[in-house]
Structure 1
């Protein structure tokens, strides 16, 4: 039986494992899925991505988790919490990335909301962020559905490109979880 970190009505979230490499490749090597990153990842970059998540579990106690569709058990994406830099501070971010075949079905919102609530309930944080590239309209819609509002803009330098981002966040009080 799978040990879920989080569970929603339709989804189970569990720690990623080495055996997830092929499923991660299917997502992270899809140019359309990775448009906000400006490139699909090589096999070596996917392995580094996976190793980074495994390291986060040890270091932080959380990271991006595998999102599994309860009905049928398909690996459909990743969603979870990571520590990110914003405004000179380290903040807890809800991040999500799903296989294209599972877009526009509410899975990202469902998983992101569960991660947001986990951050408030289990980690005791008072504010949760999603740092989203300005051109990523779908992710911005997920953040808004997750109760987040824009708090500021900044730029990330990634893969040789300066990428404008918007910092969305929601506080515990705004989420009604005081």
Structure 2
């Protein structure tokens, strides 16, 4: 709710049209990346709904919103280097690998790659 108050956007619920059930979330958030904040398309789905194109469909809508409504010059997805399905989803919406960084979660070093796409 704080993100919505501050920026007017955040993660949105993803509802499956056929069932009306909540299957995940996707949206835009500002994320730390090295020495800056970047506008990220993030997506997270229940495992039962992986590999069905939902992440790509939702991420495309977020990209469109970022470029057409927010007029963002670029958006990215920050993806763990071992998360091949999310990397493929980023590629399918026109993103390309840009750079890498080690993020630390609870004392564990986790390499991440940043995929970006520029507004045309």
Range into which the TM-score falls when normalised by the shorter chain: over 0.9
Identify the match of residue 100 of structure 2 among 145, 148, 153. 153
- C-alpha distance in structure 1 between counterparts of 2:60 and 2:32, whole Å: 21
Aligned match for 1:109, one of 33, 39, 56? 56
State the partner residue of 2:73.
Answer: 126
User: Alignment partner for residue 70 of structure 1, among 13, 17, 33?
Assistant: 17
Are residue 136 (structure 1) and residue 83 (structure 2) matched? yes
- 2:42 pairs, out of 58, 71, 95, with 95
More helix by share: 1
Compute the RMSD of aligned alpha carbons. 0.9
Question: How does the TM-score come out when normalised to structure 1?
Answer: 0.66
Deviation at 1:87, TM superposition (A): 3.8
TM-superposition CA deviations, 1:82-135 (whole Å, max 9, x none):
001224221110000000111111000000010011000111101000011101
Task: Supply the distance in 2 between the matched residues of 1:95 and 1:148 (Cα, whole angstroms).
Answer: 13
Separation in 1, partners of 2:89, 2:105: 23
The aligned length equals: 120
- Counterparts of 2:50 and 2:34 in 1: how far apart (Å)? 31
Distance in 2 between residues matched to 1:162 and 1:108, nearest whole Å: 26
Q: Name whichever structure is richer in strand by fraction.
A: 2
**1:82 equivalent among 4, 26, 29:** 29
**Matched position secondary structure for 1:71:** coil
Per the normalisation by structure 2, the TM-score is 0.96
Alpha-carbon distance in 1 for matches of 2:49, 2:11:
17
Partner of 1:55: 2
After TM superposition, the runs of 4+ consecutive aligned structure 1 residues lying more than 6 A away are none
